[in-house]
Structure 1
Amino acid sequence: MTDRVTYYEAMGGHETFVRLVHEFYKGVADDEALRALYPEEDLGPAEVRLRMFLEQYWGGPTTYSEQRGHPRLRMRHVPYAVTPDQRDRWLLHMMNAVDTLDLQQELDDMLRDYLTRAAYSLVNTPGADGTF
């Protein structure tokens, strides 16, 4: 046994990620422009997938890979036209969700940094002004 704690555990484990993702999808549900990226009528399956992905990324259970294979984040998002506006909307709802967690500052900063970098990396369609 090791004294080493994963980021997943330090953040509060499963319940923290359930809360994060659920709060995020509450924002998505009412955001028409962002909702266009979610073809399923029911956001429940997307909520489960994102929670499993984030849990695995931060050192929790590997359920995402066991059920869906390698995350291949960019590849999985290629079929969707992700614009800078949608990225910004995604980040707005995600950062609002992070606000509800009351994480230690260092963990909060790390989570926000990762989510921001991930969101920027998924933009694959220029905005109305032609920029990414």
Structure 2
Amino acid sequence: MTPPPGITLTVCPPLTDHDLNDLFAASWPGHDDTSFARTLARSLCWIAAHRGDRLVGFVNVATDGGVHAFILDTTVHPDERRAGLGVDLVRAAADEAKSRGADWLHVDYEPHLEGFYAQCGFRPTPAGLMEL
């Protein structure tokens, strides 16, 4: 796993709400600023991608406290897309989750992302979903 030139991947670096909200606002139309403190406090780990001091990628790994971990919030800044950074983030998250005791890594995604997650090493499985 080699990130694109000029990009640094870091495991669980300190991140500010400002940095995360800037990344999410650029990447997800309609994003409303939020506090990420509780989310990160409950995470198994997260991977951040920086170009210099600028946060350009992020993926979070939640856990059930046992052998299952869950990929959440895979986000790459639009200026950095289509260069392999998303795959690098998810693979780094998988490696870190494994090193922290996870045996299974789950991800939910929309149909148009199936190819992306296949590149990351996931295989499709039947699953259930309930909107609450």
TM-score bracket relative to the smaller structure: 0.3 to 0.5
TM-score (norm 1): 0.32
Per residue, is there more helix in 1 or in 2? 1
Per residue, is there more strand in 1 or in 2? 2
Using CA pairs below 8 Å that are at least 6 residues apart, which structure has the higher relative contact order?
1
